[in-house]
Amino acid sequence: MHPGRTSEQKRAFVREVTRVVVETLVCPPESVDIVITEVSREDWAKAGKLVADK
Domains of the chain by range and CATH?
A: 7-53 (3.30.429)
Mean pLDDT, rounded, of the chain: 97
Sort 5 into a burial class: Cβ within 10 Å, 0-12 / 13-18 / 19+. Answer: middle
Beta bridge partners of 49: 46
CA distance 45 to 51: 5
Average pLDDT rounded to a whole number, residues 12-17: 99
The pLDDT assigned to 2 comes to 92
What is the chain's Cα-based Rg?
15
DSSP reduced 3-state for 49: strand
pLDDT-based confidence at residue 19 (cuts at 50, 70, 90): very high
Mean pLDDT along residues 33-47: 97
Burial class (CB in 10 A: 0-12, 13-18, 19+), 11: exposed
